[in-house]
Amino acid sequence: MKLFVGLGNPGGQYAGHRHNIGFMAVDRIAEDHGFGPWKSKFQSQIAEGRLGNEKILLLKPQTFMNRSGQSVGEAMRFYKLDSTDVTVFHDELDLAPGKVRVKAGGGHAGHNGLRSIHDHIGAAYDRVRLGIGHPGRKELVSGYVLHDFSKADESWLDDVLRGVSDGAPQLAEGDGGRFMNAVALRTAPPRSSNTRPAKKEPEAAPARAEQPPEDTRTQMQKLMDRFR
C-alpha cells in the first residue's frame, strides 16, 4: 500500500486557498480514478482505491496545516508503512505557478505542513511540489498562501491538477519520469506536427517577346511598296 497525502486546511473557508492545492490534487485523483467515498479516520479524511496495480490510501489531514504530521503518523503506524511509502502533495512558493516537481527526501524549507510531517515520520518521504509562485516579500507570504487563487490562475491550475491525476498511476509505481511526462502533456502540450506549410503557387512563366507577323509579300510587291 502507498499513502498519498494532500496538505491543506479543513473547512469551506479555506477550500480555494493556495495553501490547499495539495487537497485539490488528491481530490482530483479520487474523482478521476474511482476511489471510494471519503470518510473520517486518523484525524483526517481518507479514501481508498487503486492506481494500476498499487493499492492507495488518499489522506487529507483535518488537524490544520501545522499539525499535519499527526494524522500521517497515525495512518503509517496503523498500516505498518515506511516513510518511503508516503508521497506528500503540497504548495511550493519557490516554483513558478503551474510548475510541478517530484522530490525524494530533503528539508522542509519552512513549510509548516512538511515541518510537522518531519517531526512525526522523519524526512525520508517523497513530495510532489506544486508551484504557486512567491508574492515577492517574506512578510506577504502568509496572506498570499491563505488567499484564494485568482481568476487568472484558473486555467493553469486546472491543467496542473489534471496532469497530476493523469500521472498518478506512474507515480504510484515509483516512476517519477513518466509522472512528469503526464503532467507536461497537460501543462505544456507539444505543438501539432500535422501542420504543413502552405503550398507555394508556381510562378508564372515570363512573358515571351511578341514576334512580328510573318511578311508574305513577294519581292516585286516589296519593291513596289518602297516607292509608294
Does residue 70 sit in helix, strand or coil?
helix
The DSSP bridge pattern shows strands 2-6 and 54-61 to be parallel
Residue 140 cell numbers, joined = 506577504
Task: Residue 159: count other Cβ atoms within 10 Å of its Cβ.
Answer: 17
**Residue 23, amino acid:** F
Helices (H) and strands (E) in the chain, counts: 7, 7
Burial zone of 165 (CB within 10 Å; 0-12 exposed, 13-18 middle, 19+ buried)? buried
Does residue 95 sit in helix, strand or coil?
coil
User: Residues in the chain, how many?
Assistant: 228
Annotation marks residue 19 as catalytic: yes
**22-47-174 Cα angle (round to 5):** 65
Helices (H), 63-175: 68-79, 112-121, 141-145, 154-172
Q: Which of 19, 33, 90, 118 is catalytic?
A: 19
Q: Which of 84, 50, 52, 91 is nearest to 68 (CA)?
A: 91
Q: Give the catalytic positions in this structure.
A: 19
